[in-house]
Amino acid sequence: MSNRSFRKFKDRLAYGLGVLCVVLAMFPLASILFEVVRNGLPAISVGLLTRPTGNITDPSSGIGNAIEGTLILIGMTCLIAVPIGLFAGIYLAEFGDNKFGRTIRFLNDVLAEFPSIVIGILAFSIVVVAIGHFSAMAGAVALSIIMLPIVTRTAEESIKLVPSSIRDAAMALGIRRWRTSLSIVLVTAKDGILTGIMLSIARIAGETAPLLLTVLGSGFFFSGVDQPIDALPLRIFTDYKNSNYPSALAQGWGAALVLVVLVLSLNLGVRFLTRGRSTFARARA
């Protein structure tokens, strides 16, 4: 009988430890959100959000250029990564049931876990060396390499979820396969694909390491895709390096708040819109 109660005790203990682990993991998250809001909110003002940085020691400098830069980088990255990722996903879902397809799928998963700094070196070696200086273009190339595997994987999964009856119906109407894929299957799968794209945007919006090696950062508004550009994560990093100026530090927290709001609203938005979908993108993005 004492054996039985000891077993019950162990069961309770395991349950308690599980609760403890969950609480321990949620504590940093709560603290991060709290600190970002506490330090960032007082710094937020219309001026901060709209003015360019210019001189970092100037208390009236803003992060308008960084917000603009992040949005431009996201746009350029999507232009590169979404078409490639979509087609690669279509290939994996429609034609990928062979050795080549399995290899691609495997390499795609490996690419998704690449250290982002290594991707930064790659984009540096290709684009920055070719142009001769740091540029927004190089940053977009680096970010698209990060985005590509996520888009590919979610596109493949969403396309595979399209019921074969829809495909059969298209076939029965005599519609060609490419037409079926593009106008029927892809449209049916668009929710899942959009989810993947939004989650990957949330992921690349916060990437810093590859940008350090490719776009460098700048204190001014956008001046061309072949010129350095600023981005929110880079702005936070620069402000951290200048954190002996209180105004720079406050600006950094403000930028962090804007970035966290952007990333979390994308994440929560997607999760709210698509409950109980593919766990892949959620786990990796």
Enumerate residues 122-181 that contact another protein by CB under 8 A: 122, 124-126, 129, 134, 145, 148-149, 152, 157, 176-179, 181
Smallest distance, Å, CB 55 to another protein?
Answer: 20
Q: Quick one: 207 or 230, whose CB is closer to another protein?
A: 207
Cα–Cα dist 250/28, whole Å: 21
3-state secondary structure of 119: helix
Q: Quick one: 69 or 252, whose CB is closer to another protein?
A: 252
For residue 216, list its beta bridge partners: 229
First to last CA, the chain: 50
Which DSSP letter does residue 59 get? T
Stretch of 20-28, 47-55, 56-64, 185-193 contacting another protein, by CB under 8 A: 20-28
Q: Cβ(251)–Cβ(54) under 8 Å?
A: no
Stretch of 45-53, 61-69, 189-197, 204-212 contacting another protein, by CB under 8 A: 204-212
Per-residue H/E/C for 153-209: HHHHHHHHHCCHHHHHHHHHCCCCHHHHHHHHHHHHCHHHHHHHHHHHHHHHHCCCH
Smallest distance, Å, CB 259 to another protein?
Answer: 6
- Calculate the CA dihedral of residues 76, 81, 87, 93 and round it to 10 degrees: -140
Stretch of 32-40, 162-170, 187-195, 219-227 contacting another protein, by CB under 8 A: 32-40
Q: Is 56 among the residues that bind another protein (CB under 8 A)?
A: no
For residue 229, list its beta bridge partners: 216
Q: Is 46 among the residues that bind another protein (CB under 8 A)?
A: no
Is residue 222 packed enough to be buried (19+ CB in 10 Å), middle (13-18) or exposed (0-12)?
middle
Which DSSP letter does residue 216 get? B
Please give the residues from 74 up to 133 whose contact with another protein meets the rule CB under 8 A. Answer: 83-84, 87-88, 90-92, 94-96, 100-101, 103-104, 106-111, 113-122, 124-126, 129
Q: Is 208 among the residues that bind another protein (CB under 8 A)?
A: yes
Stretch of 13-21, 45-53, 188-196, 219-227 contacting another protein, by CB under 8 A: 13-21
Q: Cβ(285)–Cβ(202) under 8 Å?
A: yes
Smallest distance, Å, CB 128 to another protein?
Answer: 9
Q: Quick one: 15 or 190, whose CB is closer to another protein?
A: 15
User: Which of 2, 3, 25, 46 is the binder for another protein (CB under 8 A)?
Assistant: 25
Single-letter amino acid, residue 236: I
Q: Quick one: 72 or 270, whose CB is closer to another protein?
A: 270
CB atoms within 10 A of CB 44: 18
Q: Is 213 among the residues that bind another protein (CB under 8 A)?
A: yes
Q: Is 26 among the residues that bind another protein (CB under 8 A)?
A: yes
Please give the residues from 224 up to 263 whose contact with another protein meets the rule CB under 8 A. Answer: 233, 236-237, 240, 252-253, 256, 259-260, 263
Cα–Cα dist 224/81, whole Å: 20
Q: Cβ(65)–Cβ(230) under 8 Å?
A: yes
Smallest distance, Å, CB 223 to another protein?
Answer: 19
